[in-house]
Structure formats: structure tokens, C-alpha cells
């Protein structure tokens, strides 16, 4: 696969007009862009945190207030690194734990999260599926990237894994020196596997850390997705454009002379 701007059709190229940036490939973050994991992740955090909060309340003789799958999840956990989210949530309850204990809660969350996904399934984001199909019709190549070890499994269970030319997740980390959280190296490795250069590649991400990593990687376009309207938050981390949904992406075809 070559990384030039001439597409497979040899008659069209995909253009992000608002950014005035032609791209040959697009890298998608998995969580929040390709797959909606909100329900599964919130349910998993509740399964982990409620027993802990109940036990803590009994030991310290304080009131037990359960984890709220909507308010608490959206405020502290949604699209944030797990350790940061659980630390800040517990701080809101005046609870401070050492790193190892926070890490243990995060590991438990992963176990419950996979259980939720395997039991109830997970849904793809319909607008992103449509966008990937459009990109392929234009001849652009695509990659799906997640720092989570279950990234590829999420895509398979959502029925969209075969849509992408490259899949890169946490299972690729051992022996590759790739990080276990969003980092420019993850996106650069995806570009290498696609056969494109960063400057000819766009990244679409939902998390602030993912947007910042793509910006540091020197990618030609960095697009943030935030249905809640957090444009300033993603913009501050380096997004060239922030949209509520990938259906808003200004994409069309131009004939190659």
C-alpha cells in the first residue's frame, strides 16, 4: 500500500475542507469514535466501586453513597485515563488511596468491563461506519488504534474489525516499546503500518490525551469528537477541529487532474 495522495481509484482524493488539508489515510481512536462503550464502562465501574465504597463507609463510619452511573461516570470517568478518573472520583468523596490500590481498582474495572461487553455486546457508532465506507470509496486507507488490550476485541464484537486496513491495540505493546496509554508513538506506528507519513494522515480521537498525542505526532489533521460539546477542552489539547459526531466531518471528493 503506498502512502501517496493518488487514491486507489486513481480518480479521487479525500479532502478535509475546513482544515484545507488533503489526507491519504485516517487513524481512528476506538473508544468513543468507532465503538460506544459508555454503558459497559459505567456498569463496570459501578460493579467495582460500590462494594469498595460500602466497605469504606463501614470501616470509617461514614455515609455510603453509591457510584452514579450517569453523573459520576460522565464527570470523572468518561474518556479519561482510568487511574486519573478513579483518583478524582474518590477525591470527590474525600478518599485518597496509594497508587497500587488505585491500580487494583482499574484492573478490576477491566475485568468487569470485558464481562459486560461479552455478555451484552457493544455497538458501533453508525456515523463512523459510514465515514469509513466513504473513505474507502475515495481510496483512503484507515486504521483503528486503542491503547487497551481489548481494543481489537471491541471492534470484533461490534462487527467492524474487518473494515480497517490496520488494527493496533495494547496486545501489540509487548516487545514494541509502545506505551500503554495514548501516545504519539501509537499513532506513528499505525501510520507506518498504513504506509503513510504523519503529515498525510488525519487522526480522529475522542479523548483529550489522544488528541494531544496526535498533535505531538505531527499529524496533518487532528479532529476531536465530543458529543457533549467540549470543543474548548479538546481544542486546548491540540484539535484542529472539534465535532459532535463524525457525520459532521466536511468530506468530499475532488477529481485529480
How far apart CA 244 and CA 32 sit, in angstroms, is 11
* 104 contacts: CB under 8 Å, gap ≥ 6: none
pTM of the model: 0.81
Instruction: Classify 77 in phi/psi space as left (phi over 0), alpha (psi -120 to 50) or beta.
Output: alpha
Q: What is the pLDDT along the chain (257 residues), one digit of tens a residue?
A: 333 322 222 333 454 554 445 688 999 999 899 999 999 999 999 999 999 999 999 999 999 999 999 999 999 998 788 889 999 999 999 999 999 999 999 999 989 999 999 999 999 999 999 999 999 988 899 999 998 888 899 999 999 999 999 999 876 654 454 445 567 888 999 999 999 999 999 999 998 889 999 999 999 999 999 887 655 688 888 898 888 899 988 766 554 33
Alpha-carbon Rg for the chain in angstroms: 19
* DSSP class of 67: P
The answer to whether residues 190 and 70 touch, using CB atoms and an 8 Å cutoff, is no
Backbone angles phi, psi at 49, to 5 degrees: -85, -35
Domains of the chain from N-terminus onward:
12-36+123-255 (3.40.50.1000), 38-120 (no CATH)
For residue 234, give the 3-state DSSP assignment.
Answer: helix
Amino acid at each position: 500500500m503506498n502512502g501517496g495522495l493518488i487514491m486507489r481509484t486513481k480518480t479521487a482524493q479525500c479532502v478535509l475542507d475546513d482544515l484545507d488539508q488533503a489526507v491519504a489515510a485516517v487513524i481512528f481512536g476506538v473508544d468513543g469514535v468507532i465503538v460506544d462503550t459508555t454503558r459497559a464502562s459505567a456498569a463496570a465501574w459501578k460493579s467495582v466501586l460500590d462494594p469498595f465504597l460500602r466497605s469504606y463507609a463501614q470501616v470509617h463510619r461514614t455515609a455510603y453513597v453509591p457510584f452514579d452511573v450517569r453523573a459520576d461516570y460522565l464527570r470523572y470517568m468518561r474518556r479519561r485515563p482510568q487511574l486519573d478518573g478513579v483518583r478524582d472520583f474518590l477525591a470527590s468523596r474525600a478518599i485518597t488511596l496509594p497508587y497500587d490500590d488505585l491500580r487494583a481498582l482499574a484492573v478490576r474495572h477491566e475485568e468487569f468491563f470485558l464481562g459486560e461487553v461479552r455478555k451484552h455486546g457493544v455497538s458501533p457508532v453508525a456515523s463512523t461506519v459510514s465515514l469509513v465506507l466513504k473513505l474507502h470509496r475515495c481510496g483512503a486507507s484507515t486504521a483503528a488504534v486503542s491503547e487497551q488490550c481489548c481494543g481489537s476485541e471491541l471492534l470484533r464484537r461490534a462487527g467492524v474489525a474487518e473494515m480497517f486496513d490496520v488494527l493496533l491495540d495494547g496486545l501489540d505493546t509487548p516487545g514494541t516499546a509502545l506505551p500503554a496509554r495514548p501516545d504519539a508513538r501509537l499513532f506513528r506506528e499505525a501510520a507506518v503500518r498504513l504506509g503513510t507519513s504523519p503529515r498525510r494522515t488525519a487522526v480522529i480521537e475522542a479523548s483529550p490525551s489522544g488528541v494531544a498525542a496526535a498533535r505531538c505526532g505531527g499529524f496533518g489533521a487532528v479532529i476531536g469528537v465530543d458529543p457533549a460539546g467540549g470543543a474548548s477542552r479538546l481544542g486546548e489539547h491540540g484539535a484542529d477541529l472539534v465535532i459532535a459526531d463524525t457525520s459532521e466531518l466536511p468530506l468530499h471528493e475532488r477529481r485529480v487532474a
